[in-house]
Structure 1
Amino acid sequence: MKTLIKNAEIVTMTGKKYKNGCILFDEKIQYVGEDKAFEADKIIDAEGKIVMPGLIDAHCHVGMFEDSLGFEGDDGNEDSDPIMPHLRAIDGINPFDRGFKDAYNAGVTTVVTGPGSANPVGGQFAAVKTYGICVDDMIIKTPVAMKFALGENPKCVYNEKDEAPVTRMGTMALIRELLIKSRDYMNQLDAYNENSEEHDKPEFDIKLDAMIPVLKKQIPVKIHAHRADDICSAIRLGKEFDICVTLEHCSDGDRIAPILEREKLPVMLGPTLSDRSKPELKNLTFDTYKNLSDRGIDVAIITDHPEITIENLSLCAVMAVKHGMDEEKALKAITSTAAKNCWIDDRVGTLEVGKDADIAVFTDLPTRFESECVMTFIDGKCVTDIK
């Protein structure tokens, strides 16, 4: 079914804006630009409204730590072993978690969701749409990233179990061991595939096999790191093994801003609309959004749902702007930059012909407190009603 939204202010997030524009789409965007007459099955007059790409939360745990449930719906941390690269978020996501509805009602159409930070290696993240009844039909990309965690979380979890790791050294050592073994396994497998007569096929190892996309730079590693020294350890790890790294949380980013500017790694910043609930959050401030983005660092704003509930993604952007972040950069941080940081910008994050018809209609820019999402489309389907 073709839908036409006309007579709207179109903010494409490509650098192009149309004061009186329209967008034509089915599952994919077919036209976006100045207002034109098109035949369509459904025509929506959005006078006085702003049409934007659906918002993206680049790091959260929607569907993994379920709303209004305790252990029964807690599927984000398999802490029975510190090294779990073979775990897949899609096996733990519940599409009926209330968080998904809260997301699309707020204009959030894509979430990058996955395991928590109990383990040094927690498993595979997935990028999924926020509307659907079966996760297999919601997938944008899986795996979209591998999850590592440094700092307090693994230390605290395994100290309570009286198991390794109980220090930052121990956490990094376990991760290194996995990467070295995985690299050897990959090289043996490649050698066998190139010449099976001269090389033996290595015995299948599901953990090592799961790491091959990381080593081949097919997916990045999302490294949980709040404290400055942990952020530097994440950077070191990326260089040591020549893998692609994104810095998740980065609460101490201000303290090492020159290093982050030099390295130019993607940063998923947040959750910031929360209390300083543990020692490594003691420097938490919204000023970091301005200070890092002004240095040319690709900053995505994240909720880390349920730490900040998913419907407040735009409120985090409002607060970032209030504390000095350029408004255009804040908009990108929940759309185009978020998509770019997560390697899914071929599908979502901007309004362009051929991209997924994930579209949000707002009363004002979502970086402004008064803004309200009045309509959301995912894959061209309206999932909300006009308010």
Structure 2
Amino acid sequence: MKAITNVSGVDGTGKALRNTTILIKDGRFTSIEETASIPNGYEVIDATGKYFTPGLIDVHTHLGVHEEGIGKEGHDFNETSAAVTPQVRAIDGINPKDQGFADARRAGVTTVQVMPGSANVIGGEMCVLKTTGTIADEMVIRNPSGLKAATGENPKRFHGDKGRMPTTRMGVAAILREQLIAAQTYMEEHRTGKTARNLGLEHIGKVLNKEIPLRVHAHRADDIVTVLRLKREFDIDLTIEHCTEGHQIAPFIAKHDISVSVGPTMTPRSKIELADKGWNTLLALADASVPFSITTDHPVIAIEHLMTSAILAVKYGLPEEEALKAITLHAAKHLGVDDRVGSAEVGKDADFVLWDGNPFDLRNKVLQTYINGELV
């Protein structure tokens, strides 16, 4: 049980905190009041001179499945033996000892989504977890949290270069349709006992049943439009991951009731799909009222630069409050875990960060990161 006194900062919902007392019990926020008595037995932490924010959230990472600094042995994020691998699960490849988790904690990142890579048209299930722990199952707060799919250059390159489908964008879309139709057929036949279990089709069935969204890697505007076409055809929930050219078609995206993950915008333009990359994407999506989050796509950009990315978004015109929500509350909503994380509110997990000043000043740093009320 902890009492954080003299708290100043923000709660993630847009509300400023000033001289606030925050009580924490059983890993959750139990009181957030400007005047509050502290019960006996509480450890008191004086936050005078510090700046409080909720724990940061990166919605699109490969932490633990693409380990840093060890080369091929740490590359467990793309099962490239086939273009369609919905049967694989990111949780089975996560190594909690990956250095990236420690880097995340030091940077105030308390929750991440870990997903397969984008080599395959369908790459497998993903999960959301806290960034502290030694056993992946005990770190998880949502599993599965989505099914990974990818359009564009990556699946074409990984599989087309090996002489197998897809070799074109038409082929990518055709494979997605075939797999969704196959899962529809499988679900009906399995209900009537006419077919044996098929793990991959079961996972796609979760998308069709709207248990989880299809989270689709799409950079170019035409690929985004194709993905939204599939959403209409199959009536599924989905998110757009990266959305690099989203600014070109933001009003069209807004018609489809989806959220998007934008980034990693700090990268160079390493391929054709990134030619029109820029921070203006966030501004256009905001103007069109499309919910968005900011991501590093760790380790494409190191996870310690999630806050740096938000700072740069502000530099190029995004309001500071919206930039913070893009890595806290809106990120939690993107992942479907906003009942637990994303803001400092009574009943939610006590994940928060104490900084030595406003984190939107790049000179300021994390002093302490807490997850479930514990200093990590």
TM interval, short-chain normalised: over 0.9
Code of the aligned partner of 1:22 = T
User: Any conservation in 1 of the 2:147–2:203 contact (CA below 8 Å)?
Assistant: no
- Give matches, 1:159-174, under 5 Å: 159-174=160-175
User: Any conservation in 2 of the 1:18–1:33 contact (CA below 8 Å)?
Assistant: no
2:253 aligns with one of 248, 260, 282? 260
User: Any conservation in 1 of the 2:190–2:197 contact (CA below 8 Å)?
Assistant: no
Return the alpha-carbon distance in structure 1 between the equivalents of residues 253 and 202 of structure 2. 31
- Secondary structure of residue in 1 paired with 2:167: coil
Return the alpha-carbon distance in structure 1 between the equivalents of residues 306 and 15 of structure 2. 23
Return the alpha-carbon distance in structure 2 between the equivalents of residues 323 and 16 of structure 1. 23
Offset at residue 258 of structure 1 (A): 2.1
Q: Say if 1:315 and 1:35 are closer, same or farther in 2 by CA, change over 3 A.
A: farther
- Match for residue 59 of structure 1? 60
2:287 aligns with one of 258, 271, 294? 294
Return the alpha-carbon distance in structure 1 between the equivalents of residues 359 and 231 of structure 2. 34
Return the alpha-carbon distance in structure 2 between the equivalents of residues 283 and 23 of structure 1. 44
Flag structure 2 segments of 5+ consecutive residues without an equivalent: none
Return the alpha-carbon distance in structure 1 between the equivalents of residues 62 and 155 of structure 2. 17
User: Any conservation in 1 of the 2:104–2:304 contact (CA below 8 Å)?
Assistant: yes
- Match for residue 301 of structure 2? 308
User: Any conservation in 2 of the 1:122–1:148 contact (CA below 8 Å)?
Assistant: yes
- Secondary structure of residue in 1 paired with 2:321: helix
1:6 aligns with 2:30: no
- Match for residue 28 of structure 1? 28
1:332 aligns with 2:333: no
User: Any conservation in 2 of the 1:317–1:330 contact (CA below 8 Å)?
Assistant: yes
Offset at residue 188 of structure 1 (A): 2.8
Code of the aligned partner of 2:251 = P
- Match for residue 16 of structure 1? 15
Identity of aligned residues (%): 45
CA-based RMSD: 1.2
- Secondary structure of residue in 1 paired with 2:249: helix
Flag structure 1 segments of 5+ consecutive residues without an equivalent: 193-199
- Give matches, 1:36-115, under 5 Å: 36-39=36-39, 40-115=41-116
Code of the aligned partner of 2:373 = G
Bigger mean CA deviation after superposition, 72-81 or 27-36: 27-36
1:79-134 per-residue CA deviation (whole Å, 9 max, x = no partner) reads 00111111111101110000000001110000001100000000011101000111
Return the alpha-carbon distance in structure 2 between the equivalents of residues 210 and 259 of structure 1. 29
1:345 aligns with 2:338: yes
User: Any conservation in 1 of the 2:247–2:282 contact (CA below 8 Å)?
Assistant: no
Q: Say if 1:189 and 1:366 are closer, same or farther in 2 by CA, change over 3 A.
A: farther
Offset at residue 11 of structure 1 (A): 1.5
User: Any conservation in 2 of the 1:303–1:312 contact (CA below 8 Å)?
Assistant: yes
Q: TM-score when scaled to structure 2?
A: 0.97
Return the alpha-carbon distance in structure 1 between the equivalents of residues 69 and 22 of structure 2. 38
Offset at residue 367 of structure 1 (A): 2.9
1:205-238 per-residue CA deviation (whole Å, 9 max, x = no partner) reads 1111111211111111110000010010111111
1:212 aligns with 2:212: no
Offset at residue 10 of structure 1 (A): 4.2
Code of the aligned partner of 2:140 = I
User: Any conservation in 2 of the 1:331–1:366 contact (CA below 8 Å)?
Assistant: no
Return the alpha-carbon distance in structure 1 between the equivalents of residues 35 and 316 of structure 2. 36
- Secondary structure of residue in 2 paired with 1:23: strand
2:225 aligns with one of 226, 232, 243? 232
- Match for residue 158 of structure 1? 159
Return the alpha-carbon distance in structure 2 between the equivalents of residues 319 and 346 of structure 1. 28
- Secondary structure of residue in 1 paired with 2:63: coil
Return the alpha-carbon distance in structure 1 between the equivalents of residues 139 and 370 of structure 2. 14
Return the alpha-carbon distance in structure 2 between the equivalents of residues 275 and 323 of structure 1. 17
1:136-170 per-residue CA deviation (whole Å, 9 max, x = no partner) reads 11001010010000000000001221111111111
- Match for residue 197 of structure 1? none
Bigger mean CA deviation after superposition, 21-30 or 69-78: 21-30
Return the alpha-carbon distance in structure 2 between the equivalents of residues 99 and 230 of structure 1. 31
Offset at residue 201 of structure 1 (A): 4.2
User: Any conservation in 1 of the 2:84–2:121 contact (CA below 8 Å)?
Assistant: yes
Return the alpha-carbon distance in structure 2 between the equivalents of residues 327 and 29 of structure 1. 25
Q: Say if 1:371 and 1:295 are closer, same or farther in 2 by CA, change over 3 A.
A: farther
1:176-215 per-residue CA deviation (whole Å, 9 max, x = no partner) reads 111001011112334x3xxxxxxx3421111111112111
Offset at residue 283 of structure 1 (A): 0.4
- Secondary structure of residue in 1 paired with 2:289: coil
Return the alpha-carbon distance in structure 2 between the equivalents of residues 214 and 361 of structure 1. 38
Structure 1 runs (4+) greater than 4 angstroms displaced: none
